[in-house]
A and B are shown apart, each in its own frame.
Chain A
Amino acid sequence: MTKQRKAVALISGGLDSMLAAKTIMDQGVHVEGINFFTGFCVEGHTHAIRANNKAKPKRNNSLWVAEQLGIKLHIVDVIEEYKDVLINPKHGYGAHMNPCLDCKIFMVNKAKQWIVENDFDFIITGEVIGQRPMSQRKSTMPIVAKESGADDLLLRPLCAKNLPATLPEREGWVDREKLHEITGRSRKPQIAMAEQFGFDDYSQPAGGCCFLTDASYSAKLVDLWKARDGDKQYDLDDVMLLKVGRHIRPEQNFKVIIAREEGEGRFMQGYKKEFITLACVSHPGALALVDGTPSAEDLFLAARITARYGQGRDAEQVDVSITGKDGSERVIQVKPLGAEEIPQEWFI
């Protein structure tokens, strides 16, 4: 009896990895999914934070894809290990702070470790030649395979026919003729394939599935490192807070993070022990966190900024509470800053 081969599919939650996994499942291979959580994944986070996104389903797309495919999904926390990928990318960054090629190598390497530990035979990704300008080019495909250590155990079902045959193809574990030869950025072949498979609901995030491809997010990350004298270490709370609120930096030594709506305010409440918090008390207004080492004068300015984003913005005077990390609270009276008093360069 022929041994049933087992493959692990990198599942991002998008359409390509879903189609890649389905293509291989249809050849009788046992497939399970793996998803790596770097801390920068778009999945889940922001729509969980922001109250005004209540109408959108708060589903995690990688889990949803696994359920549609009927496969197990292993979600792996790689936050700590990923720091080195982000801070020291051998192949550099993309348009923003996205180390896409190093990231792909890292994830395929982790998948390689996983198949060894779990007695699986090969790895599947949804990569397509020419799909992404940095990590999915014809020239980078062998780099990912080689530098990840996966070599010819890495099969890309969506574009396999444009690449040399891998071990699963050569050994007959999968039929190369039933694999695909998609290239380029057009989504038409994938959409047609999704129709064939009967998938009518799938996620296609325009900017990919990573916050590091976002210009605004990347600017905040660079600002954070700069404010820490170039120290690029970070923790998960740093990463999370860059996704929330308006970030305003009047001086190098401090910035103010102001909630933009109720959900963000509630989320930021959880950081009261780590940050000085400001809130308007005489008028309705947003919660603000102060990051850094503000002087008394800086806190006064932070209070004026906070008042600017409350309903008392046109009042002569607003009472603002300042709560220390130890819970001590005092209230000061400030005149809200006018819109013209906040220079554009303060906004990160």
Chain B
Amino acid sequence: MIKASLNARRLLCPLPVIRTQDKVKQLKPGDQLEVICTDPGVMQDIPTWCRINGHKVLETSAGDHEYIIILEVGA
């Protein structure tokens, strides 16, 4: 299992979703991806994108204007 990371800071939605989508295409089912963003909109958009595309959000956290989402790539 690969644990990958994606820096999507300064990008505004939907670009963090697009970058996540592109990165996930390079991964395999079961791999994990950590996405680090500054747009609060990702807290809604990336989980929605995961739900409709069959991926699982493992963890979300919000810090000092930074938002982190860890997801597991679905089949």
Contact = CB atoms under 8 A, between A and B. Distances in A.
B3 interface: no
B69 to A, nearest CB: 14
A59 B44 contact: yes
A44 B49 CA distance: 14
Given A59-B41, A63-B49, 4 more contacts: A37-B15, A37-B18, A41-B14, A67-B51
Contact of B15 (A64, A77, A270): A77
A49 interface: yes
Given A48-B39, A72-B53, A73-B52, A37 B14 contact: yes
Contact of A63 (B10, B15, B48): B48
B35 to A, nearest CB: 15
B62 interface: no
Contacts of A41: 14
A243 to B, nearest CB: 9
Q: How large is the interface on B (under 10, 10 to 19, 20 to 34, 35 or more residues)?
A: 20 to 34
A44 B15 CA distance: 10
A319 interface: no
A133 B7 CA distance: 41
Contacts, number: 73
B52 A72 contact: yes
A60 interface: yes
Contact of A47 (B41, B49, B52, B53): B41
Interface in A62-107: 62-64, 66-67, 70-77
A275 B63 CA distance: 27
The interface centre, meaning the residue of A41, A67, A70, A75 with most chain B CB atoms within 10 A of its CB, is A75
Contacts of A49: 12
A44 B16 CA distance: 11
25 contacts: A37-B14, A37-B15, A37-B18, A41-B14, A43-B14, A44-B13, A44-B39, A48-B40, A57-B44, A58-B40, A60-B13, A60-B41, A60-B44, A60-B48, A64-B48, A66-B52, A67-B48, A67-B51, A70-B52, A72-B53, A74-B21, A75-B21, A76-B18, A77-B18, A270-B10
Nearest to B44: A59
A240 interface: yes
A32 to B, nearest CB: 10
